[in-house]
């Protein structure tokens, strides 16, 4: 029985490993014009979330790299317009990028430098292209999925 459990665990682990180390699926890059109205410094730290599906007597692995943190700026603004970088995209824009939507964004820059520069203003941004399909999460992957990690392209 224990041998079967170990064999099933190894098979699952290899399958899980191949999924975790897969490349992110291709999604066309979005460019959006955002009117910024809030800006503040934030720090995201690794949680203590851990996973142990098959071996309750062994130490679990962590979903996020323990002790890891990312510091930057949280910006909130309203979407004025958005489009795919290449117009011929077959994808549909996610609703969070629709005109009029209020969007929370993370920028890996010091708030003391960036906030006075961008407020008030309308800027073009694009998602940073972070690929977060490998465990444990670290760096920009510590930012909650409801907040887009972006780069500022230019002033309007």
Using alpha carbons, select from 114, 97, 108, 96 the residue that is nearest to residue 140: 108
Q: What is the pLDDT of residue 75?
A: 95
How many other C-beta atoms can be found within 10 angstroms of the C-beta atom of residue 4? 8
d(CA 71, CA 45): 9
Structure tokens at 97: 């990028």
| SS3 state at 14 | helix
* N- to C-terminal Cα separation, the chain: 66
d(CA 25, CA 97): 19
Structure tokens at 106: 């993370």
pLDDT digits 0-9 by tens, 139-149? 898 999 899 99
Structure tokens at 29: 């890059």
Q: What is the pLDDT of residue 114?
A: 92
pLDDT digits 0-9 by tens, 61-85? 777 778 899 999 999 999 999 888 7
């Amino acid at each position: 029985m224990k041998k079967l459990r170990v064999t099933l665990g190894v098979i699952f682990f290899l399958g899980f490993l191949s999924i975790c180390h897969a490349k992110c699926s291709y999604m066309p890059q979005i460019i959006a014009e955002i009117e910024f109205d809030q800006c503040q410094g934030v720090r995201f730290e690794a949680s203590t979330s851990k996973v142990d599906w098959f071996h309750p007597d062994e130490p679990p692995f962590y979903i996020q790299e323990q002790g890891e943190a990312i510091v930057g700026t949280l910006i909130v603004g309203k979407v004025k317009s958005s489009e795919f970088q290449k117009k011929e995209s077959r994808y549909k824009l996610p609703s969070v990028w629709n005109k009029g939507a209020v969007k929370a964004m993370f920028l890996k820059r010091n708030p003391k430098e960036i906030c006075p520069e961008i407020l008030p203003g309308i800027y073009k941004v694009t998602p940073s292209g972070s690929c977060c399909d490998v465990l444990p999460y670290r760096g920009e992957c510590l930012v909650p999925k409801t907040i887009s990690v972006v780069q500022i392209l230019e002033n309007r």
